[in-house]
Amino acid sequence: MGIKADYFGLNRLISIILAIIPVTSWICGVITRISEGKIVAGILRIFLGFWIVWLIDLILMIANGRIWRLLNC
């Protein structure tokens, strides 16, 4: 399938498409962080991570195929 990226191991193109849409980026970001065991980061993403983090995730996903990891707990 190609190079794996952050969103559920999907390839980079699919991850970029998911990152472009704000709602799917927000949902995928929350699920990704919780599935990694980073409950606090997932909860913060629910309440604080809609617009600003969406824009940062989009830029980083396009630039290097990874979403932003501000909080690793």
Query: In the chain, what are the domain boundaries?
Result: 12-64
pLDDT for residue 10: 80
Cα–Cα distance for residue pair 73/69, rounded to 1 Å: 10
How far apart, in whole angstroms, are the C-alpha atoms of residue 36 and residue 5? 14
pLDDT at res. 72: 56
User: Tens place of pLDDT for every residue, the chain, 73 residues?
Assistant: 444 456 777 888 888 888 888 888 888 888 888 888 888 878 887 887 667 777 877 787 788 877 766 655 4
* Euclidean distance between CA atoms 16 and 48, whole angstroms: 21
The C-alpha atoms of residue 18 and residue 29 are separated, in whole angstroms, by: 10
